[in-house]
């Protein structure tokens, strides 16, 4: 088999699995007395679907525990049908699962008692992203010290790659933390954290020593971290630091601000 034909088969295989376009692959394979073309392709597609269900179960373990394994399989099958994988790296699959749950919350009566489910999925995806994020880069104290005071005020800071932020009207942080307690899970005695919070929760997700965690932070710190993420200069941080539980210096020494990208001063 020539190299060009191998590439054609590989491309057709990817189209069938990731885009649901089976015609190209159907033209390149043959039926046998025992197995038809469509049956052979279905085997590949079913295997891919099974893999993606496992990927979703691994990325959203708390959602799976909340709705139950059997119903989670149904939700996964629905999502996979609506959103076939477009990336050969399955670790990147599942980013739109929260949006799928958001839509289903409006049309499936059995989800009425779980209005927080989509936000839980958003939290779990951010934890998933944080786990696979690049390692932190040390802050360039030497380079920063060489800048003039004026240049330092115009520097753009960058958050560490594993830092994620979200807010929610539900107590998803407490609910997620409760599901980390194996004893509570085994006793089926989870506290009821499904209520709508009186005030929005501001959440910080980060990876510490290869373990991802989530914590509730104050609104000023959340706004400060968002300002850093948006690339705002140091001069604009003052309005957030005044009432924040941590300032830019503390963020730098904690490793959360991982590097500096100065403007081009030439």
Domain holding 140, by residue range, is 129-266
What mean pLDDT is predicted for residues 19-45? 54
Q: Summarize pLDDT for 151-164 with one digit per residue, the tens.
A: 888 788 899 999 99
Q: Summarize pLDDT for 80-110 with one digit per residue, the tens.
A: 988 888 777 888 899 999 999 999 999 999 9
Range scoring the smallest mean pLDDT among 66-70, 154-158, 173-177, 258-262: 258-262
Q: Are residues 172 and 50 in the same domain?
A: no
Q: Are residues 85 and 176 in the same domain?
A: no
Number of domains in the chain: 2
DSSP line for 4-31: HHHHHHHHHHHIIIII---HHHHHHS--
The Cα–Cα gap between 137 and 215 comes to 22
Q: Summarize pLDDT for 169-224 with one digit per residue, the tens.
A: 999 998 899 888 765 555 555 555 555 665 789 999 999 888 999 999 999 999 99
User: Look-up: residue for tokens 């020593």?
Assistant: 209
Q: Are residues 85 and 180 in the same domain?
A: no
Q: Are residues 222 and 134 in the same domain?
A: yes
Which of 46, 73, 93 is the last residue before a domain boundary? 93
For the chain, how many residues are written?
Answer: 266
Is 7 within the bounds of a domain?
yes
Is 113 within the bounds of a domain?
no
The Cα–Cα gap between 209 and 131 comes to 10
pTM comes to: 0.79
**Does 33 score more than 70 pLDDT?**
no
Closest Cα partner for 80 from 67, 63, 93?
Answer: 93
3, 46, 42, 83 alpha-carbon torsion, rounded to 10°: -80
Q: Are residues 173 and 229 in the same domain?
A: yes
Q: Are residues 85 and 159 in the same domain?
A: no
Looking at residue 266, what is its pLDDT? Answer: 46
């Amino acid at each position: 088999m020539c190299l060009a034909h191998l590439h054609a088969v590989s491309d057709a295989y990817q189209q069938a699995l990731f885009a649901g376009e089976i015609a190209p692959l159907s033209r390149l394979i043959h039926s046998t007395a025992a197995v038809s073309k469509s049956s052979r392709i279905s085997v590949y597609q079913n295997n891919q679907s099974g893999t993606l269900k496992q990927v979703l179960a691994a990325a959203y373990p708390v959602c799976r525990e909340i709705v139950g394994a059997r119903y989670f399989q149904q939700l996964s099958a629905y999502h996979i049908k609506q959103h076939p994988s477009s990336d050969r790296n399955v670790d990147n699959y599942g980013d739109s699962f929260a949006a799928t749950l958001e839509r289903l919350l409006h049309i499936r009566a059995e989800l009425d008692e779980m209005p927080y489910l989509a936000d839980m999925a958003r939290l779990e995806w951010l934890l998933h992203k944080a786990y696979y994020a690049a390692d932190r880069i040390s802050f360039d104290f030497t380079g920063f010290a060489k800048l003039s005071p004026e240049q330092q005020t115009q520097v753009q800071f960058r958050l560490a790659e594993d830092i994620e932020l979200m807010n929610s009207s539900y107590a998803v942080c407490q609910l997620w933390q409760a599901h980390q307690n194996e004893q509570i899970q085994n006793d089926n005695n989870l506290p009821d954290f499904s209520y709508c919070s009186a005030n929005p929760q501001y959440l910080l997700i980060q990876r510490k020593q290869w373990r991802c965690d989530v914590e509730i932070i104050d609104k000023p710190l959340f706004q400060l971290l968002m300002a850093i993420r948006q690339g705002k200069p140091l001069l604009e941080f003052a309005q957030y630091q005044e009432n924040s539980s941590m300032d830019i210096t503390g963020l730098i020494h904690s490793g959360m601000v991982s590097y500096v990208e100065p403007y081009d001063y030439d």
